Amino acid sequence: MANAYSPVRLIVPKRFSDDRGWFMEVYAKPTFAKFGIDCSFVQDNHSLSVPAFTLRGLHFQTPPRGQDKLVRCIRGRIFDVAVDIRKGSPTYGQWVGAELSAENGWHLFIPIGFAHGFVTLEDNCEVIYKCSDTYSPESDGGIRWDDPLIGINWPISASTVPRLSAKDTIQPLLADFDSPFPYDGRPLAPLA
């Protein structure tokens, strides 16, 4: 596990390998609780992004239907990002990101109060993630993926235009967002 104080966590599970392949425990509630991740997951999502540089995000659900997310890539490679959108946070508008891949098996835990997004780094990427609440259209929210105030350093060349949903092309800027998420006293820290 990464920085035990930061609300966003990079999780590097141990793989047990032999000549047949490998085995990895993906999620165990008691193990995660020891590291301060003590939510209950109630929905699993699975996405396929066919073209490389498909960008999904930055998404969240507002209270009372906020979602903690546990994200991993099971095919291909993605750059996964969390942005602090908790009102009053000293790290408000700051982001962290990590490359998740089928090869490395890493997970990113994104708690309520953070916007989430990812870009695929190759064709045919599959991403699965657990959520602590079910999808709620009336609570669905987002921030622009390319908001200059946030300044995410997406691993996309200047000549590449990412593939976006219609919804993601019109998301508001952070400056136009009135956050309903309270700050819990834990500032965002770099991922280890």
Where in the sequence numbering do the catalytic residues fall? 59, 129
3-state secondary structure of 168: helix
Dist. CA 143–CA 150, nearest whole Å: 10
Q: Which helix (H) or strand (E) holds 29?
A: helix 29-34
- Nearest one of 48, 30, 41 to 126, comparing CA atoms: 48
Cβ atoms within 10 A of the Cβ of 104, count? 15
Q: CA–CA distance from 180 to each of 40, 87, 88, 128 (Å)?
A: 22, 7, 11, 27
